[in-house]
């Protein structure tokens, strides 16, 4: 804790002389006030942690201003500005006005939100005021001090005119960044002990625990890096902190490769979980660059100038999966469930088997035709806190999805007719009737809520109607989800039993012909395709079992073709390609070193390959 204080205290004193001079004498060089973190229960820890993480995002979203400040102050005398006699000038970067505006709005909003952190909230508001106008000033300066090097053509005459405006932006930035950064870091470190203990007790040393630990250890290493190329570098302290951070990275790497880690990581594949490794490689460059700085100073200068941006990139990367896991946990509520029916499918004669298969196929169509109900639920669940309902503090309001009344009603009427037709499958038919009743109950309330959010009424009534609609939505969704889950699972289980009988019928009737292999490839391939969605939610056991059965079917077709018993042809080729792609996908679930968007992209690609295989098989 003291280390962070020393670092930011030095930052405030060494890099903000003009800002300090503008302050009353009694406040110059004063250490920012310390935020006191009370002993908190689990809800309190989560509330403090989320607010601190959102304050951190204000810093990470605006950190691009820092290298501009450092580069400008390294190029020119702080007070006099450009003279036209400078040997070299660092280029400046453009700042994203929209990103800065969003960060300013977020800081001001957080400062008014509970839990109150008075010292930090005041620092955040002051920082927001300081950075509000920075993009306009620095983007004009970046055009001048950019790759076009306009300053070379007028011998810095425009630079002299820009200097007062640039300094007017830099001075409040340097006056407000240190206290905000200090208090955000100090409060986070004070809370970390409680949060890490809570996470280990509740979830074990899983992904969020590792992300928080990595950030803590990464900060301990980063604070040893000097704020400018001419600053002192405590190599012994840095090496000790680097060793601790490397150990945290190694522990995270080992956890990622464990079965539990692979399961957890599969659910957050779109995030950059390799950022801790990248940051470690960057940190390891500092000691050698420092030792060689007398002979090769440029590497040391570039490392130091980019150090804070590198740290904040790492910080942002660790925050994203933490927030995702927090939102995922918040979206889970205790809801009533309905068990799937246990149906022992009898050995059926071929004509009865065909009738059962047709009925199951029609039940599947009922589920497909009512998908808009589950789509509405998923869309609502993705943005709202299901326990509390809309609060008005959401980052975005996603609404729901409209249900087509006519299509929904026709599907549910079909389910009721189907339940009364032969062959009677009593337990399944009862579930279908329960589903029809429950599904009817969501239509009006979902469409009312969808219209409210689609009209953007929530922007004018501060979500008052949204808050009133929430308990009604939950009361309607609960029986719908329970009945749909039970019906879907039962239908899938019965279909699997019927498919096995159907393959046996073909074999008994015709032998292991090409049609037998084709049907087997189709049926087991469908199991794999269906289970890929389960792999996204970490249902890997079912996925692996389906994949093993499909792999056996593909090899059996290849072996039969090799013995010239059947023609493998394009079907065998497409089946092999699909199997190989699925196995590659399975290998990448939880695997370190992949691009964050890889899993989502491959899941879509697998659906296309499956469709091509089915098209070839059904010719």
pLDDT digits 0-9 by tens, 34-68: 888 999 998 899 889 999 999 999 998 998 898 88
Preceding peptide of 423 cis, ω within 30°: yes
Q: Who contacts 124 (Cβ-Cβ below 8 Å, separation ≥6)?
A: 55, 58, 107, 108, 110, 111, 180
How many Cα atoms are found within 13 Å in the side-chain-facing hemisphere of 563? 9
DSSP 8-state class, residue 346: P
Domain-located, residue 309: yes
Distances (CA, A) of 472 to 56, 337, 396, 466: 36, 18, 21, 10
Q: Does 112 lie in the same domain as 131?
A: yes
Q: Who contacts 483 (Cβ-Cβ below 8 Å, separation ≥6)?
A: 338, 431, 434, 435, 437, 438, 439
DSSP 8-state class, residue 235: H
Q: Does 212 lie in the same domain as 67?
A: no
Sign for the CA dihedral angle at 438, 443, 444, 445 comes to positive
Low-confidence ranges of the chain (pLDDT < 70): 1-31, 228, 263, 266-270, 330-334, 533-540, 589-604
Q: Which of the listed residues 330, 365, 387 is the one where a domain comes to its end?
A: 330
Q: Does 230 lie in the same domain as 114?
A: no
Distances (CA, A) of 541 to 261, 288, 404, 533: 15, 47, 36, 13
Q: How many residues does the chain have?
A: 619
Preceding peptide of 403 cis, ω within 30°: no
Q: Does 210 lie in the same domain as 195?
A: no
User: Residue 106: its pLDDT value, please?
Assistant: 93
Distances (CA, A) of 112 to 35, 108, 115, 393: 16, 7, 9, 11
Q: Which of the listed residues 495, 528, 553 is the one where a domain comes to its end?
A: 495
- Distance from the Cα of residue 450 to its chain's centroid: 25
Q: Does 311 lie in the same domain as 178?
A: no
| Cβ–Cβ < 8 Å for 291, 273 | no
Domain-located, residue 6: no
Instruction: Show the tokens assigned to 427.
Output: 């337990």
User: Residue 250: its pLDDT value, please?
Assistant: 94
User: Residue 301: its pLDDT value, please?
Assistant: 82
Q: Does 192 lie in the same domain as 87?
A: yes
DSSP 8-state class, residue 36: P
Residues 484 and 431: their CA atoms lie apart, in Å, by 9
Instruction: Show the tokens assigned to 585.
Output: 């996908």
Residues 335 and 326: their CA atoms lie apart, in Å, by 19
Q: Who contacts 38 (Cβ-Cβ below 8 Å, separation ≥6)?
A: 44
Q: Report the CATH number at residue 606.
A: 1.20.120
Question: How many domains does the chain fold into?
Answer: 4
Q: Does 236 lie in the same domain as 296?
A: yes
Q: Does 418 lie in the same domain as 286?
A: no
Across the chain, what does the average pLDDT equal? 85
DSSP string, 421-440: SSSP-HHHHHHHHHHHHHHH
Percentage of the chain exceeding pLDDT 90: 44
Domain-located, residue 354: yes
- With CA atoms as reference, report the closest residue to 67 among 291, 314, 303, 290: 303
Q: Who contacts 122 (Cβ-Cβ below 8 Å, separation ≥6)?
A: 111
Q: Who contacts 143 (Cβ-Cβ below 8 Å, separation ≥6)?
A: 94, 150
Q: Who contacts 110 (Cβ-Cβ below 8 Å, separation ≥6)?
A: 51, 54, 55, 58, 121, 124
Q: Does 196 lie in the same domain as 315?
A: no
- With CA atoms as reference, report the closest residue to 530 among 430, 590, 614, 591: 614
Q: Does 97 lie in the same domain as 163?
A: yes
| Cβ–Cβ < 8 Å for 163, 12 | no
Residue with tokens 């689990």: 42
Q: Does 170 lie in the same domain as 78?
A: yes
User: Residue 270: its pLDDT value, please?
Assistant: 66
- With CA atoms as reference, report the closest residue to 590 among 543, 556, 521: 543
Instruction: Show the tokens assigned to 253.
Output: 């790497």
Indicate the angle between helix axes 65-75 and 157-203, nearest 10 degrees.
Answer: 140
Q: Is the pTM of this model over 0.75?
A: no
DSSP-assigned beta bridge partners for residue 77: 81
Q: Who contacts 565 (Cβ-Cβ below 8 Å, separation ≥6)?
A: 512
| Cβ–Cβ < 8 Å for 11, 27 | no
Domain-located, residue 77: yes
Q: Give per-residue pLDDT as tens, 315-363.
A: 888 888 888 888 777 666 667 778 888 898 899 998 999 999 999 999 9
User: Residue 9: its pLDDT value, please?
Assistant: 34
DSSP-assigned beta bridge partners for residue 81: 77
Domain-located, residue 7: no
Residue with tokens 């239908």: 491
Q: Who contacts 226 (Cβ-Cβ below 8 Å, separation ≥6)?
A: 232, 233, 304
Domain-located, residue 82: yes
Q: Which of the listed residues 470, 495, 520 is the one where a domain comes to its end?
A: 495
In b/e form, how buried is each residue of 40-53, taking b as 16+ CB within 10 angstroms?
beeebbbebbbbbb
Domain of residue 484, residue span:
345-495
Distances (CA, A) of 207 to 187, 210, 248, 538: 22, 5, 12, 14
Instruction: Show the tokens assigned to 103.
Output: 């960060």
User: Residue 590: its pLDDT value, please?
Assistant: 52
Q: Does 190 lie in the same domain as 46?
A: yes
DSSP 8-state class, residue 26: G
Q: Who contacts 175 (Cβ-Cβ below 8 Å, separation ≥6)?
A: 16, 19, 20, 22, 23, 130
Domain-located, residue 213: yes
Sign for the CA dihedral angle at 11, 317, 385, 447 comes to positive
Domain-located, residue 340: no
Backbone dihedral angles phi then psi of residue 81, each to the nearest 5 degrees: 80, -165
Residues 14 and 228: their CA atoms lie apart, in Å, by 9
Instruction: Show the tokens assigned to 30.
Output: 């004063």
Residues 332 and 427: their CA atoms lie apart, in Å, by 29
| Cβ–Cβ < 8 Å for 228, 304 | yes
């Amino acid at each position: 804790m003291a280390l962070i204080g020393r670092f930011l205290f030095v930052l405030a004193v060494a890099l903000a002389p003009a800002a300090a001079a503008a302050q009353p004498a009694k406040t110059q060089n004063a250490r920012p006030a310390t935020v006191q973190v009370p002993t908190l229960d689990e809800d309190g820890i989560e509330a403090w942690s989320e607010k601190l993480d959102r304050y951190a995002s204000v810093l990470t979203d605006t950190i691009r201003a820092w290298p501009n400040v450092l580069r400008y102050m390294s190029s020119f005398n702080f007070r006099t500005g450009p003279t036209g006699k400078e040997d070299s000038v660092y280029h400046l970067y453009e700042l994203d006005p929209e990103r800065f505006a969003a960060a300013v709005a977020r800081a001001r909003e957080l400062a008014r939100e509970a839990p109150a952190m008075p010292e930090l909230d005041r620092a955040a508001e002051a920082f927001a005021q300081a950075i509000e106008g920075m993009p306009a000033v620095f983007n004009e300066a970046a055009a001048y001090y950019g790759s076009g090097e306009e300053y070379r053509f007028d011998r810095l005459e425009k630079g002299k005119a820009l200097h007062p405006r640039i300094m007017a932006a830099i001075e409040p930035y340097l006056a407000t960044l240190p206290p905000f950064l200090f208090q955000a870091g100090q409060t986070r470190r004070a809370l970390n002990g409680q949060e890490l203990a809570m996470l280990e007790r509740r979830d074990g040393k899983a992904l969020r625990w590792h992300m928080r630990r990595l950030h803590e250890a990464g900060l301990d290493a980063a604070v040893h890096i000097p704020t400018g190329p001419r600053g002192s570098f405590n190599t012994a302290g840095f090496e000790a902190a680097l060793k601790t951070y490397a150990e945290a990275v190694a522990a995270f790497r080992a956890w990622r490769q464990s079965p539990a880690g692979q399961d957890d990581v599969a659910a957050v594949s779109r995030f950059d979980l390799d950022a801790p490794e990248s940051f470690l490689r960057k940190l390891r460059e500092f000691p050698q660059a420092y030792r060689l700085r007398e002979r090769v100073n440029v590497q040391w200068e570039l490392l130091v100038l980019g150090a804070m941006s590198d740290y904040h990139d790492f910080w942002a990367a660790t925050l994203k999966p933490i927030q995702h896991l927090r939102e995922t946990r918040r979206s889970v509520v205790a809801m009533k469930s309905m068990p799937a029916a246990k149906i022992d499918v009898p050995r059926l004669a071929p004509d009865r088997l065909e009738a059962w298969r047709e009925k199951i196929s029609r039940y599947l169509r009922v589920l497909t035709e009512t998908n808009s109900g589950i789509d509405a639920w998923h869309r609502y669940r993705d943005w709202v806190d299901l326990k509390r309902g809309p609060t008005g503090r959401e980052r975005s309001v996603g609404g729901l999805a409209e249900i087509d009344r006519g299509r929904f009603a026709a599907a549910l009427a079909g389910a009721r007719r189907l339940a009364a037709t032969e062959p009677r499958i009593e337990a399944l038919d009862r579930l279908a009737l329960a589903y029809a009743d429950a599904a009817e109950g969501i239509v009006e309330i979902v469409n009312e809520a969808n219209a409210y959010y689609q009209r953007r009424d929530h922007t004018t009534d501060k979500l008052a109607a949204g808050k009133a609609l929430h308990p009604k939505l939950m009361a309607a969704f609960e029986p719908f989800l329970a009945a749909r889950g039970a019906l879907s699972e039962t239908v899938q289980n019965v279909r699997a039993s019927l498919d096995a009988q159907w393959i046996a019928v073909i074999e008994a009737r015709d032998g292991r012909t090409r049609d037998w292999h084709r049907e087997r490839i189709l049926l087991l391939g469908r199991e794999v395709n269906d289970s890929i969605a389960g792999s996204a939610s970490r249902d890997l056991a079912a996925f692996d079992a389906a994949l093993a059965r499909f792999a056996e079917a593909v090899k059996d077709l290849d072996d039969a073709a090799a013995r010239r018993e059947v023609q493998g042809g394009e079907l065998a080729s497409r089946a092999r390609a699909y199997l190989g792609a699925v196995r590659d996908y399975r290998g990448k679930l939880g695997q370190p070193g992949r691009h964050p968007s890889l899993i989502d992209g491959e899941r879509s690609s697998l659906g296309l390959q499956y469709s091509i295989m089915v098209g070839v098989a059904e010719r």
